[in-house]
Structure 1
Amino acid sequence: MSETAGGSFLLPPLALYIHIPWCVRKCPYCDFNSHAAGPTLPEEEYVDALLADLDIDLQHVHDRLLTSIFFGGGTPSLFSDRALGRLLEGAEQRVGFAPDIEITLEANPGTFEQAKFKGYRALGINRLSIGVQSFQEAKLKALGRIHDGGEAIRAADMARAAGFDNFNLDLMHGLPEQSIEDALFDLRTAISQGPTHLSWYQLTMEPNTVFWSQPPVLPEDDLLWDIQEAGQALLAAEGYAQYEVSAYARPGKQARHNLNYWTFGDFLGIGAGAHAKLSTPAGHIQRTWKTRLPKDYLDPARVFQAGERALEAGELPFEYLMNVLRLTEGAPAELFSQRTGLPLQQLEQARREAERQGLLQADPARLVATAKGQLFLNDLLQLFLD
């Protein structure tokens, strides 16, 4: 970490998020910045744009090395290993990689073959996140997915064969007409593939999606709660510790990129619609976002950055805790001052009230939500609004 001359603010670790905005087909529940791919992808042009975007953002690096890189989308596995290799080489030349850097690539079953996975692994990509969502044909069809359950299993097999000993499987629950047995079948099937990490989260209806305007019939709240409890018990019994609202991992296999995000670390964001959170040595913190449409991002007359917003001192407690309190173990109390530059005493009044309501643990050394606080996280966070 870099430290200011006054010693009051430590620059946090720095990560890089890279957005690849194309998919084979847009899923009806998806509110991410993703767009159906045409017959050919502008790989070379897009990598050129990404590196030019990164060049502009080098002003925010402040002599830090990248601790993690995350290729998100869209479906980054649509890109060739050659294109991603040129991008990684350019990023390392410009910023530099920490010796133990974690590099994650999102992939969808049905968009790759084993040779492609081996190529990714040879580049230094050392973690995959495979978007399975379900292993059951009816559920996959309802979600608009293009793969079947067999392809999802083969994807995990291919990942291991290509040398990936660290990979995540994405699963949804609360699907149309899903029973507890359906949800547990998906979880057991996923666990049998030997992932080091599982993202298991509830399907929600998001604005600007097909499901928002044409919502499917989802399980009732009581059933959703039963699914959640049964799934968490199964995951715990199988050795997957919950460390965030929807993240479960084998010991030592938590997603470092996501942990940096949830502990209010810094991250550069390049690519169409990418967001960033950035700090200066003087302790100023801002959020930025890039132009959203791929055609605009690729325009020769482009301006990559679409907007920015400085975080005011009064916003920082809420912004910080909105992330940290998602973690089941929270974070050391002293990290608040390190990440925000504000005195911990600023939280004192709201902290005591949260403890009184049973939403925050009465631990002077840590900021961590109780089990009740995890369930009523919005109520807990409201107490820290300025």
Structure 2
Amino acid sequence: MNDSPLTTLSTGRPQPIPLSLYIHIPWCVRKCPYCDFNSHEQKGELPEQVYVAAMLEDFKQDVDFIQGRELQSIFIGGGTPSLFSAAAYETLFRGLQQHLKFADNIEITLEANPGTLEQGRFEGYREVGINRLSIGVQSFDPVQLQKLGRIHNSDDALRAISCAQQAGFSNFNVDLMHGLNEQTPDDALRDLNTAIAAGAPHISWYQLTIEANTEFYKRPPLLPVETEMHRIQHAGGALLAANNFARYEISAFAKPGHQARHNLNYWQFGDYLAIGAGAHGKISRANGDILRYQKTRKPEDYLLRKLSRSSKTELIAAVDLPLEFMMNALRLQQGFTRQLFSERTGLNSQAIEATLSRLKQQGLLHEENLLICPTPRGFELVDSILAEFLPD
């Protein structure tokens, strides 16, 4: 008997929901003033071996969530995962594979800070199976890097990209922010042009937002006015398109064949396991339930706990599923199909038909060849679209 979480298509053919894994490494060299992630400044030697052992112990408690599926992708985020050695990740991967199978074409992404990398580390990461990097550059402008609290400079960022390529990484992302302190469109385009010239096949280009519980929230930088922000966004999108980058998600641009498979699984409402301090997971059960869960947030507590490192588990109510699905799927330029909605939520698509019709009449959604996606105007008003899916 196959006990995978299955959804039935109109043909009656069952389809397993794809499964990914998120791994959180919570330490960094220095907390950036804009960062609201679960990251903690490194104090003394990192507990690599103890933390890897804790994650493997944690994973054993979630093996029921696997439900016979292969792992399609892994994303290692932080914090600064590149503070950990290749040997630590090799031990972690071997331990994980005692409980589930990695797909033959698995994508394994590591977030990397240019200020913590050298050639030997890149090669070591490749050797243990990491085949994609996400390099946190944020800007190539030395003044902006200083204001953002980054520990690297522009030369470090370019060197990291070059070293990654020399180590054999043909698939990598460069993270860039726009809407920075007093940034002009020319400044933003200069950052994009530098990443393009360096050979990045994928660029995450997103607007700086001021989050609560950050230094920038207490002492906000002087951000561009709204009209200037629109000029930056439109000019940057045009530049990327002219250089063969397709915008496939609100802030993700990729050359052909370089879309982030792990992130696509998030946006298509797939399943993902989670280990590491503060990591979040989402799982579809064979009985139709969809769960969200979170791990213990503080690293010291995560390391000490033995019986359970899960701090919160909740069932997503059926009435909330349309919004939960749309919060992900409407980030995608290509949108979604009714079939995907039904597969991933277990709901009949009739549950959203009236809302879809209304949004199409308002010019915010468009449907062609069974794909429902935001119009150019709708892509800029995603929050307004999502409000239409709030439960009554």
Q: Same fold (TM over 0.5)?
A: yes
Compute the displacement of 1:93 (Å).
2.0
1:209 corresponds in structure 2 to: 214
TM-score (norm 1): 0.97
Of stretches 319-328 and 3-12 in structure 1, the one that deviates more from structure 2 is 3-12
SS of corresponding position for 1:147: coil
1:12 corresponds in structure 2 to: 17
* 1:221 and 2:260 correspond: no
Compute the displacement of 1:369 (Å).
1.1
1:284 corresponds in structure 2 to: 289
Give the 3 Å change call, closer, same or farther, for CA 313–370 of structure 1 in structure 2: same
* 1:182 and 2:182 correspond: no
Q: CA RMSD, aligned part only?
A: 1.5
Compute the displacement of 1:363 (Å).
3.7
The answer to whether the Cα contact below 8 Å between 1:9 and 1:339 also exists between their aligned partners in 2 is no
Structure 1 counterpart of 2:176, one-letter code: L
Q: In structure 2, what is the Cα distance between the partners aligned to 1:281 and 1:303?
A: 23
Give the 3 Å change call, closer, same or farther, for CA 350–9 of structure 1 in structure 2: farther
Compute the displacement of 1:8 (Å).
9.2
Residues 82-121 of structure 1 show CA distances to partners (whole Å, capped at 9, x for unaligned) of 1111001111221110110000000001102100110000
The answer to whether the Cα contact below 8 Å between 2:284 and 2:290 also exists between their aligned partners in 1 is yes
Q: Determine which of 116, 129, 138 is the counterpart of 1:133.
A: 138
Residues 176-212 of structure 1 show CA distances to partners (whole Å, capped at 9, x for unaligned) of 0111111111000011111110000000000110101
Compute the displacement of 1:301 (Å).
4.3
TM-score (norm 2): 0.96
Give the 3 Å change call, closer, same or farther, for CA 366–5 of structure 1 in structure 2: closer
Q: In structure 1, what is the Cα distance between the partners aligned to 2:220 and 2:13?
A: 50
Residues 53-101 of structure 1 show CA distances to partners (whole Å, capped at 9, x for unaligned) of 1111111000000000000000000001111110011112211101100
Q: In structure 2, what is the Cα distance between the partners aligned to 1:238 and 1:302?
A: 52
1:113 corresponds in structure 2 to: 118
1:298 corresponds in structure 2 to: 303
Residues 271-309 of structure 1 show CA distances to partners (whole Å, capped at 9, x for unaligned) of 000000101112110100011000000015463000011
Q: Where does 1:238-277 land on structure 2 (aligned, <5 Å)?
A: 238-277=243-282
Structure 2 counterpart of 1:64, one-letter code: R
2:312 corresponds in structure 1 to: 307
1:156 corresponds in structure 2 to: 161
* 1:165 and 2:163 correspond: no
Structure 1 counterpart of 2:303, one-letter code: L
1:3 corresponds in structure 2 to: 6
Give the 3 Å change call, closer, same or farther, for CA 227–325 of structure 1 in structure 2: same
The answer to whether the Cα contact below 8 Å between 2:61 and 2:308 also exists between their aligned partners in 1 is no
SS of corresponding position for 2:386: helix
| Structure 2 stretches lacking a partner, 5+ long | none
Residues 28-59 of structure 1 show CA distances to partners (whole Å, capped at 9, x for unaligned) of 00000000011200000000010011111111
Q: In structure 2, what is the Cα distance between the partners aligned to 1:162 and 1:8?
A: 42
Give the 3 Å change call, closer, same or farther, for CA 67–353 of structure 1 in structure 2: same
Q: In structure 1, what is the Cα distance between the partners aligned to 2:15 and 2:288?
A: 8
Q: Determine which of 194, 198, 203 is the counterpart of 2:199.
A: 194
The answer to whether the Cα contact below 8 Å between 1:11 and 1:339 also exists between their aligned partners in 2 is no
Residues 140-169 of structure 1 show CA distances to partners (whole Å, capped at 9, x for unaligned) of 001000100000000000001111010100
2:361 corresponds in structure 1 to: 356
* 1:103 and 2:108 correspond: yes
Q: In structure 1, what is the Cα distance between the partners aligned to 2:13 and 2:215?
A: 48
Of stretches 367-376 and 71-80 in structure 1, the one that deviates more from structure 2 is 367-376
The answer to whether the Cα contact below 8 Å between 2:6 and 2:17 also exists between their aligned partners in 1 is no
Compute the displacement of 1:9 (Å).
7.2
Q: In structure 2, what is the Cα distance between the partners aligned to 1:10 and 1:311?
A: 21
Q: In structure 2, what is the Cα distance between the partners aligned to 1:86 and 1:290?
A: 21
* 1:330 and 2:346 correspond: no
Q: Determine which of 87, 92, 100 is the counterpart of 2:92.
A: 87
SS of corresponding position for 1:93: coil
SS of corresponding position for 2:351: helix
Residues 348-373 of structure 1 show CA distances to partners (whole Å, capped at 9, x for unaligned) of 11111111111111447122111111
| Structure 1 stretches lacking a partner, 5+ long | none
The answer to whether the Cα contact below 8 Å between 1:68 and 1:256 also exists between their aligned partners in 2 is yes
SS of corresponding position for 1:315: helix
2:237 corresponds in structure 1 to: 232
SS of corresponding position for 2:6: coil
1:341 corresponds in structure 2 to: 346
Q: In structure 2, what is the Cα distance between the partners aligned to 1:134 and 1:167?
A: 16
The answer to whether the Cα contact below 8 Å between 1:17 and 1:268 also exists between their aligned partners in 2 is yes
Q: In structure 1, what is the Cα distance between the partners aligned to 2:8 and 2:162?
A: 51
Of stretches 54-63 and 86-95 in structure 1, the one that deviates more from structure 2 is 86-95
Structure 1 counterpart of 2:329, one-letter code: V
Q: In structure 1, what is the Cα distance between the partners aligned to 2:8 and 2:385?
A: 35
Q: In structure 2, what is the Cα distance between the partners aligned to 1:53 and 1:352?
A: 45
> Percent of pairs identical after alignment?
53
The answer to whether the Cα contact below 8 Å between 1:103 and 1:127 also exists between their aligned partners in 2 is yes
* 1:144 and 2:149 correspond: yes
Q: In structure 1, what is the Cα distance between the partners aligned to 2:241 and 2:20?
A: 29
Of stretches 303-312 and 149-158 in structure 1, the one that deviates more from structure 2 is 303-312
